[in-house]
Chain A
Amino acid sequence: MQRFDYILKRLVMALFVLLSVSFFTFIIARVVPSDPAAAWVGPHPTREQIEKATIELGLDKPLTTQYLRYMDGIIKGDLGTSITTRQPILTDVRTFLPATLELVIAGMLIAIVIGIPLGVFSGAYRGSWLDHLTRLVSIAGVSMPAFLFGLLLQLLFFRYLGLLPLGARISTEVSLFNPIETITGIYLLDSALTGNWVAFQDALKHIILPAVALATYPVGLAIRMTRSTIIEVLSEKYIMAAKVSGIRQRTIFFVLALKNAIVPTLNALGLAFVYSLTGAILIEIIFSWPGLGTYITNAVLSVDFPVIVSVTLVMTVFYILINLLLDIIQAIIDPRVTLQ
């Protein structure tokens, strides 16, 4: 039951943070920019237009009222309207979010599947050639700007090898002749669920390069974190105790040590996930991936504040939720966590 209390506490904290975050984004939206009303009207606003917009947007009311209206809207699901598209932002987000999610999840999966085992081997056989090679790879991954790597991948696989497409989520032919039924908005999932294998393959081809580019940082991070925690764990007395009880090396590394090492690694992966969320912005630009990243970039360039703020809020909510999930998983795996 200790764990239950812990989880409850974390939930409450997350709620508090969410509230503060919304307040903060509100400040960024209304207070920081010089004149939101002018921005709303567009280029070369006249005085009357600004005044009209000010009243329309409720900007003449005191800040607290504005904040309450803002929060009220959010709870009802109204994220405001985009200045550029004049559409409800919620609709836009609904369209673009699955694309970004698919990309980020794909990237994280690659990172976990490749990064963690490599990190374990690297730490277990410290000093070997495998260790050196892996460390090189991991540090290159962490240092390489993902957008550069994306460009290089395009250069290699599209321009020179002609194996993979340049961008977008799906090719025009497939979208015309084998369109994917929208269930979740995640193409790979939807096409698999409906047995649309042509589309599945096509979507897979399109997602590989951007996912790999996005995974560069998380893979590097996963390897480094896993490696260093494994090294620390392996110097613990209970590992020596296991060794003198005759337990096999493989079991020691991948079961006894890894379970202890996984907690800090999960933390790091949470960080990596967030980094990916924001790194996705840049990758989407390069690969013309129609996700939240492209959406927010266009918003930034056209100074579309409502969009910038709402998307920030949405992404932050995700971040908080993921961290919460990680905390819960940690509490389940490591019984000592709840003692803090």
Chain B
Amino acid sequence: MTTTFSELEITADEIPHDGHISELSLMWRAFRSDPLAVLSLVILLIFIFGAIFAPFLTPYAAQGQGDPNILEKFNPPSKAHLLGTDYLGRDVLARIFYGGRSSLSIGFLVVFVAVLIGVPLGAIAGFYGGWIDNLLMRITDIFLAFPPLLLAIALAAALGPSFTNTMIAISFTWWPWYARLVRAQTISLKERSFIEAARSIGVPSWKIILTHVLPNVMTPVMVQATMDLGSAILVGASISFIGLGVQPPTADWGTMISVGRIYFLERPWYAGSAGAAIFLVVLAFNLLGDALRDAADPRTRRSVSAGR
């Protein structure tokens, strides 16, 4: 997108006194000027807020958690129930809020665990090289050989359907990507002289990894993690859709679609709302990740050009 000149103008008092404009503030500036990125952030915050404060946001808290309301089942969207009611008469909007708790947290937990396991392993493998590196590469090769969703399904099936098991199963398939990413970054960092310099003055390896390697690999990891949040939520929803995840009556967007699909053609608002929720959240994460990545890379950082 071409931006007009004035939006990115750097005024004199914004420049730090030594005359340099820091990388981070350029990134933030570029990010801030992308309306889509800001919009995505807002959407995500709304969903997260809704999930956390669900009981206070809807008069139908009990229904959200599962209490049926048979008399009003299958009501189309109305003033009383903004998104209608489901097959047990529960308010769909409330179910979406509560479902967000399950679906969103799967995403965050999975990425968190994957980063927690993958990043250190990748850094160690990349830094030390040798047999440690080889071993890690072989292990990740095996994991990456499986189609991701499939492995998660197989593991979840083996472990039994539940929220925790789903989370474990999906994280298990996800960490190799981070290990690989960080390993590659570490290897290219190793070539740079500041690592050699630190070594030559006797800084112990673990310290080098902690203070030099990790901070530098965090940017691509952050970008990847942001985009993965969306994918993780999608995978979680897919597993619930099949029936392996969260069990009723707990609300979850994936199970809502699975159940709602049966009468989707006649009463689309149930599965439709859940689907739209997933779509919006994943879209927002993807846009966010894209914007982050564009802002981080000086080549793609939006420069003010005079158009074509």
Could you tell me which A residues sit within 8 Å of B by CB distance?
13, 17-18, 20-21, 24-25, 28-29, 32-33, 125, 127-128, 132, 139-140, 142-145, 147-148, 151-152, 154-155, 158-159, 231-232, 235, 274-275, 277-279, 281-282, 285-286, 296-297, 300-301, 303, 305, 308-309, 312, 315-316, 319-320
Contact = CB atoms under 8 A, between A and B. Distances in A.
Interface string B235-258: 001100111100000000000010
B283 interface: yes
B153 A143 contact: no
Task: Name the residue in B2, B142, B276 with the highest tally of chain A Cβ atoms < 10 Å from its Cβ.
Answer: B142
B142 to A, nearest CB: 4
Contacts of B276: 148
Nearest to A166: B265
Given A145-B279, A312-B154, A132 B1 contact: yes
Contact of A143 (B149, B230, B264): B230
Given A24-B142, A155-B264, A143 B283 contact: yes
Contacts of A275: 147-149
Nearest to A21: B145
Contact of A127 (B150, B238, B307): B307
B290 interface: yes
A309 B151 CA distance: 10
B21 interface: no
Contact of A155 (B1, B138, B265): B265
A281 B149 contact: yes
B287 A139 contact: yes
A277 B147 contact: yes
A186 B243 CA distance: 29
Contacts of A315: 147, 150
Interface of B: 1-2, 138, 141-142, 145-151, 153-155, 157-159, 230, 234, 237-238, 241-244, 257, 261, 264-265, 268, 271-272, 275-276, 278-279, 282-283, 285-287, 290, 299-300, 305, 307-308
A302 B146 CA distance: 23
B286 A139 contact: yes
B146 A319 contact: yes
B157 A308 contact: yes
Given A139-B283, A148-B278, A148-B279, A277 B158 contact: no
A316 to B, nearest CB: 5
Contacts of A308: 153-154, 157-158
A35 B175 CA distance: 28
B225 to A, nearest CB: 16
Given A151-B271, A300-B153, A127 B282 contact: no
A151 B264 contact: yes
Prevailing SS type, chain B contact patch: helix
Given A128-B308, A139-B290, A316-B150, A17 B141 contact: yes
Given A139-B283, A145-B279, A303-B157, 12 more contacts: A17-B141, A18-B145, A28-B155, A125-B308, A139-B286, A145-B275, A145-B282, A147-B257, A155-B268, A278-B148, A300-B244, A316-B146
Contacts of B300: 231
B147 A319 contact: yes
A76 to B, nearest CB: 23
Contacts of A303: 157
Contacts of A309: 154
A148 B257 contact: yes
A145 B265 contact: no
Contacts of B147: 274-275, 277-278, 315-316, 319
Contacts of B153: 278, 281, 296, 300, 308, 312
Contacts of B157: 300, 303, 305, 308
A278 B148 CA distance: 8
A71 B257 CA distance: 39
B289 to A, nearest CB: 10
B145 A319 contact: yes
A293 to B, nearest CB: 10
A279 B149 contact: yes
A243 to B, nearest CB: 15
Contacts of A300: 153, 157, 242-244
B92 to A, nearest CB: 15
Contacts of B271: 148, 151
Contacts of B261: 147, 151, 286
B142 A21 contact: yes
Nearest to A127: B2
9 contacts: A24-B142, A28-B155, A144-B283, A147-B275, A278-B153, A281-B150, A286-B261, A308-B153, A316-B146
Nearest to A31: B158
Contact of B278 (A17, A145, A159, A286): A145
A262 B24 CA distance: 33
Contacts of A232: 299
B131 to A, nearest CB: 16
A312 B146 contact: yes
A28 B271 CA distance: 33
Top-8 shortest CB links A-B: A148-B275, A278-B149, A32-B158, A143-B283, A143-B282, A20-B142, A274-B147, A17-B145
Nearest to A304: B157
A289 to B, nearest CB: 14
Contacts of A145: 234, 237-238, 257, 275, 278-279, 282
Given A127-B1, A132-B1, A315-B147, A143 B286 contact: yes
Contacts of A140: 283
A309 B157 CA distance: 10
A308 B159 CA distance: 13
Contacts of A18: 145
A235 B150 contact: no
